[in-house]
């Protein structure tokens, strides 16, 4: 999965912290209608699920979340 420009930051972190990983959360964002917040809600839902699943699978682990607007 592509991380876009965020990869510039996350690749430095995963290089320096050998046990770290970087994962992209891809979802369809829309630029056709700037007042359409459905894609924002979808992205928020996917992020929450991803963080919740990770916390359950790896309790006590540290997390850093990065993002970008399209």
pLDDT digits (tens, 9 = 90+) for 32-52: 665 666 777 888 888 899 999
Average pLDDT for residues 18-40, to the nearest whole number? Answer: 73
Which residues fall within 8 angstroms of residue 22, CB to CB, at 6 or more apart?
3, 7, 10, 11, 13, 14
Cα Rg, the chain, nearest whole Å: 14
Read off the pTM: 0.69
Per-residue pLDDT at 5 exceeds 90: no
Q: What are the extents of the domains in the chain?
A: 4-57
Which ranges in 1-70 belong to alpha helices (H)? Answer: 7-16, 38-57
Residue (of 50, 52, 28) closest to 40 by Cα position? 28
Instruction: Provide the pLDDT for residue 49.
Output: 94
């Amino acid at each position: 999965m592509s991380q876009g420009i965020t990869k510039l930051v996350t690749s430095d972190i995963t290089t320096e912290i050998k046990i770290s990983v970087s994962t992209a959360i891809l979802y369809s964002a829309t630029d056709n209608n700037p007042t359409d917040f459905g894609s924002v809600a979808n992205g928020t839902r996917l992020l929450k699920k991803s963080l919740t699943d990770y916390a359950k699978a790896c309790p006590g682990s540290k997390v850093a979340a990065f993002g970008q607007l399209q």
